Amino acid sequence: MSFIAVIPARYQSTRLPAKPLADILGKTMVERVALKALQSGASRVIVATDDQRIADALVSVENIEVCLTSAGHESGTDRLAEVCEIYQFADNEVIVNVQGDEPLIPPAVITQVAKNLQNSSEASVATLSAPITEFDDVFNVNAVKVVCDKNGLALYFSRATIPWDRDNFSEQNQENGDVEKGNLQRHIGIYAYRVSFLKQYAQLSVSPLESIEKLEQLRVLWHGFKIHVAQAVEVPPAGIDTEDDLQRVITYLKNEELKEHNEN
């Protein structure tokens, strides 16, 4: 199995300035993500950035390529499309979009989403999900839900609670906290794409559903492309958006290092 991992890394970030270069125990965030991607077995790992400072920070990291891209992209998918154009990748090549703010992403899920796309002849895109286990996530609009058909192809993604369990989700049950979570699936935002699709993506118009829900994947479904969804073999920890998130990851890694030291 061969696939390429691409890590979009935009310098500007409203909540955490220069986020890709944030120091995490002696390594930048983007370097930690890239090293996780290398562990996935990707044939190439490319950091796609709009800023020379990020490129300079990765010069000494072995086996990591850097591609300077436009600063005008509205999404990471658009940045991936430019990378494919620059490198002239073959149409059947599989590209995995690894989020640049997830330094704890398990390499296994990167491998999984690439393999799932390669094994799905119908799909142009593959992504992952996880069962909702927390009551607070059932009606949380920031926990995006996904429903699929019998072949594991996405029917719809929504911030709303889908499918709506008419009997279980009664107003009284919600008030009492008696809702059974059932088979609700939360979308996990890692994607694998075929290069042939990425070439077309840049030409796809924004869909009405995407504008309403503010979910980019609805553009894909609106235009008739298929998205394969499977439960993640390992649920990735939350990414880093704020300074508090950054400190949470640093604390976690310190504890892991201490645990490893004590075991040895």
Give the tens place of pLDDT for each residue, 69-107: 988 777 778 889 999 999 999 999 999 999 999 999 999
Give me the pLDDT at residue 262, please.
Answer: 80
* 249: in domain: yes
Per the structure, the complete domain to which residue 69 belongs is given by 4-128+188-263
Spatial CB neighbours of 263, under 8 Å, sequence gap ≥ 6: none
Across the range 107-116, mean pLDDT stands at: 98
Looking up residue 65, the CATH number of its domain turns out to be 3.90.550.10
Cα separation, 162 vs 168, in Å, equals: 12
Residue 109 has pLDDT above 90, yes or no: yes
Among 1-5, 125-129, 241-245, the range of highest mean pLDDT: 125-129
Instruction: Give the residue carrying structure tokens 């990851």.
Output: 249
pLDDT at 14 over 60: yes
How many domains is the chain built from?
Answer: 1
Is residue 156 packed enough to be buried (19+ CB in 10 Å), middle (13-18) or exposed (0-12)? middle
- Return the half-sphere exposure (C-beta side, CA atoms, 13 A cut-off) of residue 118: 14
Amino acid at 181: K
Query: Is residue 176 over pLDDT 70?
Result: no
Q: What is the pLDDT of residue 181?
A: 58
Question: pLDDT at residue 229 above 70?
Answer: yes
Of 221, 230, 33, nearest to 117 by C-alpha is 230
Closest CA to 33 of 1, 57, 69, 68: 57
pTM above the 0.85 mark? Answer: yes
Is pLDDT above 80 for 178? Answer: no
What's the whole-number mean pLDDT along residues 202-229? 94
Residues 179-204 have a mean pLDDT of: 87
Whether 154 maps to a domain, the answer reads no
